[in-house]
Amino acid sequence: ASVYVAQVFTDAKLDFASIDKLRESLITGVPFVVTMTFVRDVGIDKIVDGYTDVFKGNGVKIEEEPFKAFLEAVKKSGDVKDKQVYEFQFISDAAAKFEVKFKNKDKEEYTAKGLTKEQFENFTKMWFGKAVDSGLAALHEQLMHPDEKI
């Protein structure tokens, strides 16, 4: 059963040829925002496990910063209730350094500043990387083929 509904907000010209091309076009066209609106109550351990699995499945070293601190911030933010919204803001500055902000219930929970492009891209793999479960695979299908029923 679905756990959340994802939305992506961007002014970038997106390339839907593949999930990798979509990810690259989002990064090139920063800023963008991803929201996750939860459709049921979810224990925080399940959410942290999900992020951990997708990071590991995409070769991200979760024991290193900034990913270690991000996962700790998510865990600290507590269990999720039905209709609760996570917001992720993806931003770059004039020096071509990247930033990711994680907000929960309109409260900033975590900000990673001064990220390299690789670290920034690794954060986007939470949704736009290798699908490590059927939920992400379904999300990819919906992103790549929005007019088709799934």
Whether the CB-CB separation of 37 and 83 falls below 8 Å is answered with yes
Q: Looking at the predicted structure, is the pLDDT value of residue 100 above 80? A: yes
With vertex at residue 65, the alpha carbon angle to CA 8 and CA 35, rounded to the nearest 5 degrees, is: 15
* 148 Cβ contact partners less than 8 Å away, ≥ 6 residues apart: 141
Q: At what angle do helices 134-144 and 19-28 cross, to 10 degrees?
A: 70
Neighbours of 74 (CB within 10 A): 21
Which residue type occupies 61?
Answer: K
pLDDT in tens, 9-42: 999 999 999 999 999 999 999 999 999 999 999 9
Q: Is residue 105 very low, low, confident or very high in pLDDT (cuts 50, 70, 90)?
A: confident
Per-residue model confidence (pLDDT) at position 77? 94
Among 3, 1, 6, residue whose Cα is nearest residue 142: 6
Question: Averaged over 81-87, what is the pLDDT?
Answer: 96
**Percent of the chain scoring above 90 in pLDDT:** 76
* Mean pLDDT of the residues in the chain: 91
